[in-house]
A = this chain, B = another copy of it.
Amino acid sequence: MTDNKMRKPVRDVTIADVAEKCGVSIATVSRVLNRKGRYSVETQRRVEAAAREIGYAPNHMAKSLKRKRTEQIALAISDIGNPVYVAMAKSIQQVVKDHGYRLILLSTEALVHEEIGILKSMAKHFADGLIISPLLYSEEHRKWIKRLKQPVVVISGIAEETDVDSVLVDSGHGIRLAMEHLLSQGYSRVAFINGPSQTVPGRARLNGYYSALVEHNLPIDEGLIIDGGDFTLSGGYMTASRLLEISPRPEAVICANDLMALGVMRYLGEKGLRVPRDMAVVGMDDIEHASLAVPPLTTVSLLAAERGRMAAELLMERLEGSSDAPPKQVKVLPKLVVRESSVVVETVTGGA
């Protein structure tokens, strides 16, 4: 019989409780709390007091059901461990929060069927919109996205798609910038370590490498191209040995992303090779640790944070503005960030 806090099941306080407490109807309470419709200042005072007093908090599930809005945005990325996606997620979180949305983080582990699964499940209405950065953009992706009621923004590489809002960056062009820079520094035999070539970014970057060679009338030497396996740090470290097997040894190497570049630099360091004196290294993405590496890594920024912000803003626009405007594509230009890993050392400025 001692029921002093035996069980929690103490039925939530609902809008009806507030209404009863201050002798009005639930409609009035709702109007006051949502500042919608008409009510007297006296009623407002009483309702607000009652609500505060009994600790009323509107039930989000019921609200969603009625309003047909969850106030949630889903973000689908392939690997939350990748600093690039973290940067994106961070700025996206910022924007959606400012607009009163919560962010749901969905990780696909680089599995295409997971991506499709997410698209399908959007039909269940657990989020009002989706930002997705797919590893590849297949016909199936397109099909499901088109079928969705909610707006979708795709963060991806350059593509011909014009039927969905997207934030694009031409990473292939980024590779060309890197190549130009290396050539201007006097390097001419430049190797290329790629990530998985069947992914959109992998393909784009490889094409960038080819076209840079063509552009500068350089011979295409397949021996200079190494498949890095994946876009990870250990992927770079592992394949760096193959770099040293190339003969004659290349003067410089472009890596398809910073993580791999850092892995490569580490391997070179362990083998006693100095960067850039013995081999110049350039990465891509401009993650925070690129600037911290020893030597600081030259890289091509793809403006991940910026792209995240833009994608989120595009989505907010869709959600709050005219949803029938034609799909928008916004493009972002890769930017070369020159640091010490690729500049010819004239004089060594030693300290102390």
CB within 8 Å of B: which residues of A?
A: 7-8, 12, 55, 57-62, 64-65, 68, 70, 72, 80-81, 86-87, 89-90, 93, 97, 102-107, 120-121, 123-126, 147, 149, 233, 262, 266, 269-273, 288-289, 292-294, 323-324, 350-352
Contact = CB atoms under 8 A, between A and B. Distances in A.
Nearest to A150: B8
Smallest CB-CB A-B distances: 10 pairs = A272-B351, A272-B352, A57-B123, A294-B294, A61-B64, A60-B126, A61-B65, A60-B124, A105-B105, A57-B124
A351 B272 CA distance: 4
A222 B102 CA distance: 45
Contacts of A123: 55, 57
A89 B102 contact: no
Nearest to A85: B86
A44 to B, nearest CB: 21
Given A55-B123, A270-B351, A292-B262, A89 B105 contact: yes
Given A294-B269, A352-B271, A93 B64 contact: no
Contact of A289 (B90, B102, B292): B292
Nearest to A323: B8
21 contacts: A7-B324, A8-B323, A12-B125, A57-B121, A60-B70, A61-B68, A62-B65, A64-B65, A72-B104, A93-B105, A93-B107, A97-B107, A103-B105, A103-B106, A104-B104, A233-B288, A262-B292, A269-B294, A273-B351, A273-B352, A289-B289
Contacts of A121: 57
Contacts of A271: 351-352
A294 to B, nearest CB: 4
A202 to B, nearest CB: 22
Given A55-B123, A105-B105, A233-B288, 15 more contacts: A7-B324, A12-B149, A55-B147, A57-B123, A58-B124, A59-B125, A61-B64, A61-B126, A102-B106, A102-B126, A262-B292, A271-B351, A271-B352, A289-B289, A293-B294
A8 B149 contact: yes
A209 to B, nearest CB: 25
Contacts of A65: 59, 61-62, 64-65
A62 B68 CA distance: 10
Given A60-B126, A270-B351, A273-B352, A233 B292 contact: yes
Contacts of A86: 80-81, 86
B107 A105 contact: no
A93 B70 contact: no
A65 to B, nearest CB: 4
A60 B122 CA distance: 10
A104 B107 contact: no
Contacts of A93: 80, 105, 107
B70 A61 contact: yes
A55 B58 CA distance: 32
A203 to B, nearest CB: 27
Contacts of A269: 294
A58 B122 CA distance: 11
A270 B294 CA distance: 11
A272 B350 CA distance: 6
B104 A103 contact: yes
A268 to B, nearest CB: 10
